[in-house]
Amino acid sequence: MVSWTCLLFLLSQCLLVSTYFGRANAQTVPIVPGLSWNFYASTCPSLKSTVREQLQIVLNQDIGQAAGLLRLHFHDCFVQGCDGSVLLDGSASGPGEQSAPPNLSLRAQAFRIIEDLRRRVHQKCGRVVSCSDILALAARDSVYLAGGPDYDVPLGRRDGLNFATVNATLANLPPPSSNTTALLNSLAQKNFTATDVVALSGGHTIGISHCISFTGRLYPSQDPTLDQTFARNLKRTCPAANTDNTTVLDIRSPDTFDNKYYVDLLNRQGLFTSDQDLYTDSRTRGIVTSFAVNQSLFYEKFVVAMIKMSQLSVLTGNQGEIRGNCSARNSNNLWLSSTVEETEKGSYSAF
């Protein structure tokens, strides 16, 4: 009798805890007020299946897009919070976040995939799901469909009305030439621990980079921490500092979301200084090694850090808006759609 009471008590505590913390290894990540694990349960019950099924089709054709979507979510969240601002095109009043140097190498196709998902979701549910939530879901599905862990993301983000300035973008996205001290300092401002930093860097287990992002390690002189054969091959791909070629981030399994990125680091085959220095620096070396030998541990810490990242400075409740087009705020859309409608009616045929 006593043990049944205990069991029931434990069960009720589990249920209580799961409402706050979601499933799969996310137990230690609290969710911010305004977000919830089942935000669209009544307003858009088909949201998660719509996104996942469509991405399954898209990624079956080109798994490389998984990397593009994951990086897009990261660039959204680090600059002004996960408010979909990186999706906004520039305006007549000035250049948008998209034209900041770190964003120039975001994949154009990733923006199209998000807008296509938005259209499908809004077709089914109406304009109730934000672009920033669709991006957060697309990023987590990309991780899963590339072979990585499956996890829940809290939902309920609203879309921002303004994009960040070029300077704010530069200030919030550390360059690949950063050493571990710079990386830890920069990410500590967003409350990330050293474990979070190493886990998030594991996003580099998929995807590609342009030469310009790492040729500082090859020319004029070679970074001594680079493995010789690896460096020779990189020089072949990038015979000059600004060659417009690309190479994979994880030479062992570039399209699979696994822990091989950390094995690369152990072998001095990390592509960026910001990657390789995580193994050189004594504060992060042990974490790198622990992920290299234990993929489940990496997955667990990655999920925690991603859920943290996905909640950075989110807009909730009545803040912001739910965009009807991810690349433009609604007021601009209204103007656009009314112009188009008028044109279609023939009233402004001279346009």
Binding site for Ca(2+), by residue number, is: 76, 79, 81, 83, 85, 97, 205, 250, 258
Interaction between residue 287 and ligand HEM (CB under 6 A): no
Q: Cα–Cα distance between 247 and 179 in angstroms, integer?
A: 21
Please, which residue, 137 or 322, has the CB nearer to ligand HEM? 137
Enumerate residues 94-133 that contact ligand HEM by CB under 6 A: 105, 107
Q: Report the Cα 303 to chain-centroid distance in Å.
A: 12
For residue 24, give Cα distances in angstroms to 7, 27, 151, 208, 302. 21, 7, 6, 29, 11
Q: Cα–Cα distance between 335 and 293 in angstroms, integer?
A: 55
User: For the window 158-177, what string marks contact with ligand HEM as x by the rule CB under 6 A?
Assistant: ----------------xxx-
Q: Is 99 exposed, middle or buried (0-12, 13-18, 19+ CB in 10 A)?
A: middle
Q: Cα–Cα distance between 54 and 116 in angstroms, integer?
A: 9
Identity at 344, one-letter amino acid code:
E
Q: Cα–Cα distance between 201 and 261 in angstroms, integer?
A: 9
In the set 31, 117, 208, 226, which binds ligand HEM (CB under 6 A)? Answer: 208
In the set 172, 178, 215, 253, which binds ligand HEM (CB under 6 A)? Answer: 178
Q: Cα–Cα distance between 219 and 241 in angstroms, integer?
A: 7
Q: Which two tokens stand for residue 238?
A: 């990038």
Interaction between residue 206 and ligand HEM (CB under 6 A): yes
Query: What b/e string do you get for 150-161 counting C-beta neighbours within 10 Å, with b at 16 or more?
Result: ebbbbbbbbbbb
Stretch that binds ligand HEM, among 23-31, 39-47, 195-203, 321-329 (CB under 6 A): 195-203
Residue 218: CB minimum distance to ligand HEM, A: 14
Interaction between residue 183 and ligand HEM (CB under 6 A): yes
Please, which residue, 124 or 210, has the CB nearer to ligand HEM? 210
Q: Which two tokens stand for residue 212?
A: 């310009």
Give the annotated binding-site residues for substrate: 174
User: For the window 290-329, what string marks contact with ligand HEM as x by the rule CB under 6 A?
Assistant: ----------------------------------------
Please, which residue, 283 or 347, has the CB nearer to ligand HEM? 283
Q: Is 137 exposed, middle or buried (0-12, 13-18, 19+ CB in 10 A)?
A: buried
Q: Cα–Cα distance between 66 and 68 in angstroms, integer?
A: 5
| DSSP single-letter state for residue 60 | H
Enumerate residues 230-259 that contact ligand HEM by CB under 6 A: 249
In the set 207, 254, 270, 320, which binds ligand HEM (CB under 6 A)? Answer: 207
Question: Which residue in the list 73, 75, 122, 210 is annotated as catalytic?
Answer: 75
Please, which residue, 97 or 321, has the CB nearer to ligand HEM? 97
Under 8 Å between Cβ of 320 and 329: no
In the set 122, 204, 217, 301, which binds ligand HEM (CB under 6 A)? Answer: 204
Please, which residue, 68 or 156, has the CB nearer to ligand HEM? 68
- The answer to whether the bond into 30 is cis (omega within 30° of 0) is no
73 has catalytic annotation:
no
Give the annotated binding-site residues for heme b: 204
User: For the window 74-93, what string marks contact with ligand HEM as x by the rule CB under 6 A?
Assistant: x-------------------
β partners of residue 247 = 209
In the set 48, 124, 190, 210, which binds ligand HEM (CB under 6 A)? Answer: 210
SS3 call for 206: coil
Active site residues: 75
- Positions that interact with ligand HEM (CB under 6 A): 67-68, 70-71, 74, 105, 107, 174-176, 178, 183, 200-201, 203-204, 206-210, 213, 249, 272, 274
